[in-house]
Copies of this chain bind each other. A is one copy, B any other.
Amino acid sequence: MEKLTIVKVGGKIVEDPQSLKQLLSDFSKIEGYKVLVHGGGRSATAMAAKLGIESKMVNGRRITDEEMLKIVTMVYGGLVNKQIVAGLQAIGVNALGLTGADLNYMRSEKRPVTDVDYGFVGDVKEVNAVILVDLIAKGVVPVLAPLTHDKAGNLLNTNADTIAGEAAKALSNDFEVTLMYCFEKKGVLLNEGDDESVIPILTSELFEQYVSDRVIQGGMIPKLENSFEALNKGVKRVLITRADQIHTNKGTQIKL
């Protein structure tokens, strides 16, 4: 099978013109087929503030009411996505920006209300990769915004890590997929205070131990759970790394 690399980058990188330019250049140097998944939370929060709308977060996740859904649709699907697409085209990468509604490639359902009502947030239910696979094989590079749809006319806000994981699993039927989650550190750290203490290989066994020892905590836990899930579902390789290392293969490699 041909190789495909899926890179997920957060808002911080893609929202600053200089770091975005560097990222797109590094991304373009990755060999083989490619997919880029982006966030944009900071821009959404900033836009909401400009419009006098308060961003509500619970457990680090955004509450997406009707007004906020319009904002994330504009910011993720329009501003951030299209600036990335135009930036990639400028360096010869044939990018195509997509939300889950486009080509109906990712369908979700509105998250049920439990103790928290997250609002218009989608849990992914179905990935239709057929046309996507065809486009990728033609050299097209999908740029995925963190938005899905319910196929009943509603767009839904969806975590970019989840989008990347679900796309990686679905594309593993046709490609040998490497999934790279980028964040602000060079990899998963053994010692939070030491940026150089990157764990080179993290097995599920080590992961469990580090979680019980509280070496790994907070938002890194769901990211790593997503990673093991992806490996279990056919993704060949998962790397947690910093955006400026994506063309170097450095970082923490996740292994079952």
Contacts and interface: CB of A to CB of B under 8 A. Distances in A.
Number of copies: 2
A151 B93 CA distance: 10
Interface stretch (A80-88, A110-118, A202-210): A80-88
B82 A99 contact: yes
Contacts of A140: 103, 131
A155 interface: yes
26 contacts: A47-B74, A73-B79, A73-B82, A73-B83, A74-B74, A77-B78, A77-B79, A77-B81, A78-B82, A82-B102, A82-B155, A85-B99, A86-B101, A86-B149, A87-B153, A89-B104, A89-B149, A89-B151, A90-B151, A94-B104, A95-B103, A96-B102, A97-B102, A131-B135, A131-B138, A134-B138
Given A70-B79, A89-B153, A96-B103, 5 more contacts: A73-B78, A83-B155, A85-B149, A95-B103, A134-B138
